[in-house]
């Protein structure tokens, strides 16, 4: 218990007669908030529900932004999907808008009322189906921007279980029920990597990238992707990593390179896991973009370009690591 202070005239005294009984913090090692109290979580639920109210300013801004994105695709280069929101303005914060965003995605599938039937822990611990700048991120040596903590956590468990030695890792799908249960545990802050098969961990990495509201490669338009593919084939790109850094924003680029470096570890054990660069590019690359078109020829062409470019990035990083 603190004691009162005696300030000089015209000064504000320090706080007193209060107790610090709880400490809420984010455990980056396990990618979850700890020390949460029911009172604090209920407060978050209340402000989130208020933000989603049709009468609130946050709701009006959200709806205006959504309609603007739907009708002005060409005016915003970074927007590739209807679910995109301007989180680039809030890259390093977990504000009330983030919590409101969680509820906005959960409420329609859960019930008509925002506050009922929603696990409060989802308010702060959800890591899937979000923007990559909306999740907590951590500094990782070797990268110029912070990496999402959930990815670092999954990699830790993946390497500990020697997932790089498992045959057809990333290609073979795990048990869907176990995978979904793992996602639910992560979103509720009770996940334990030791209790799940390594194939589940590998699939969680794919799912996380696939379910991003904005794909990690959203800044590269389909036409630019195909152009890059041909430039690589014609040996016109001498420094592919440097080229990628030039066309992607820092956050997107560093997360992409982090993923590539993990896959290089897997590719280096291809004699055991049968997953070389070509195989990894085929199974991973489609999760990094979102193809929203009824034109089958366009979809196939774009998919091929993405796989080829990603394969080349893998090959390039593999060569850099071995130098």
Dump pLDDT digits (tens) for 299-320: 999 999 999 999 999 999 887 5
- Confidence label for 184 from pLDDT (cuts 50, 70 and 90): very high
Torsion on CA atoms 25, 28, 31, 36, rounded to nearest 10: -10
Predicted confidence (pLDDT) at residue 145 exceeds the cutoff of 90? yes
CA–CA gap between residue 237 and residue 96 (Å, rounded):
43
Q: What is the pLDDT of residue 91?
A: 38
Residues with Cβ within 8 Å of 254's Cβ and at least 6 positions away in sequence, in order, are: 143, 144, 145, 146, 147
Mean pLDDT on 103-131? 60
Residue 123 lies in a domain: no
Cα angle 66, 186, 51 (rounded to 5 degrees) comes to: 35
Q: What is the pLDDT of residue 13?
A: 67
Closest C-alpha among 136, 130, 133 to residue 149: 136
CA–CA gap between residue 62 and residue 51 (Å, rounded):
10
Residue 1 lies in a domain: no
Residue 210 lies in a domain: yes
How much is the pTM? 0.74
Residue 99 lies in a domain: no
Whether the CB-CB separation of 154 and 193 falls below 8 Å is answered with yes
Distance of CA 111 to the CA centre of its chain: 26
Q: What is the pLDDT of residue 90?
A: 38
322 C-beta neighbours (distance < 10 Å), count: 8
Overall domain count for the chain: 1
Mean pLDDT on 86-109? 42
Predicted confidence (pLDDT) at residue 31 exceeds the cutoff of 50? yes
Mean pLDDT of the chain: 78
Predicted confidence (pLDDT) at residue 194 exceeds the cutoff of 60? yes
Q: What is the pLDDT of residue 42?
A: 75
Q: What is the pLDDT of residue 72?
A: 36
Per DSSP, what are the bridge partners of residue 137?
148
Cα angle 55, 58, 63 (rounded to 5 degrees) comes to: 85
Predicted confidence (pLDDT) at residue 278 exceeds the cutoff of 60? yes
Torsion on CA atoms 81, 87, 91, 96, rounded to nearest 10: -130
Residue 160 lies in a domain: yes
Whether the CB-CB separation of 269 and 165 falls below 8 Å is answered with yes
Closest C-alpha among 94, 124, 118, 121 to residue 106: 118
Domain extent at residue 232: 137-322
> How many residues can be counted in the chain?
323
Residue 230 lies in a domain: yes
Q: What is the pLDDT of residue 238?
A: 87
Mean pLDDT on 184-204? 93
Residue 180 lies in a domain: yes
The CATH number of the domain holding residue 293 is 1.10.555.10
Buried b (16+ CB within 10 A) or exposed e, 146-171: bbbbbbbbbbebbeebebbebeebbb
Using CA of residue 221, residue 223, residue 226, residue 228, what is the dihedral sign? negative
Residue 213 lies in a domain: yes
Closest C-alpha among 209, 208, 251, 256 to residue 92: 251
């Amino acid at each position: 218990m603190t004691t009162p202070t005696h300030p000089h005239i015209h000064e504000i005294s320090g706080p007193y007669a209060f107790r610090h009984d709880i400490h809420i913090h984010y455990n980056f090692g396990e990618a979850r908030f700890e020390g949460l109290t029911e009172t604090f979580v209920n407060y978050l639920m209340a402000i989130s529900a208020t933000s989603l109210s049709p009468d609130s300013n946050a709701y009006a801004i959200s709806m205006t932004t959504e309609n603007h994105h739907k009708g002005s695709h060409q005016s915003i280069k970074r927007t590739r999907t209807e679910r995109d929101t301007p989180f680039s303005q809030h890259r390093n914060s977990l504000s009330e808008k983030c919590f409101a965003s969680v509820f906005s995605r959960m409420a329609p599938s859960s019930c008509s009322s925002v506050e009922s039937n929603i696990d409060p822990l989802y308010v702060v611990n959800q890591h899937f189906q979000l923007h990559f700048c909306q999740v907590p991120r951590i500094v990782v040596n070797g990268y110029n921007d912070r990496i999402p903590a959930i990815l670092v956590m999954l990699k830790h468990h993946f390497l500990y279980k020697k997932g790089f030695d498992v045959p057809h890792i990333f290609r073979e799908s795990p048990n869907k029920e176990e995978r979904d249960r793992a996602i639910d545990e992560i979103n509720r802050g009770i996940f334990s990597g030791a209790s799940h098969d390594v194939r589940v961990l590998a699939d969680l990495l794919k799912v996380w990238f696939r379910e991003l509201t904005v794909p990690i490669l959203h800044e590269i338009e389909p036409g630019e992707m195909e152009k890059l593919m041909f430039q690589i084939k014609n040996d016109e790109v001498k420094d592919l990593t440097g080229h990628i850094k030039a066309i992607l924003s820092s956050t997107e680029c560093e997360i992409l390179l982090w993923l590539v470096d993990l896959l290089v570890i897997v590719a280096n054990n291809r004699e055991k896991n049968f997953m070389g660069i070509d195989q990894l590019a085929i199974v991973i690359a489609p999760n990094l973009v979102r193809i929203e078109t009824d034109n089958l020829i366009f979809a196939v062409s774009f998919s091929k370009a993405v796989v080829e470019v990603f394969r080349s990035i893998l090959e390039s990083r593999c060569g850099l690591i071995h130098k």
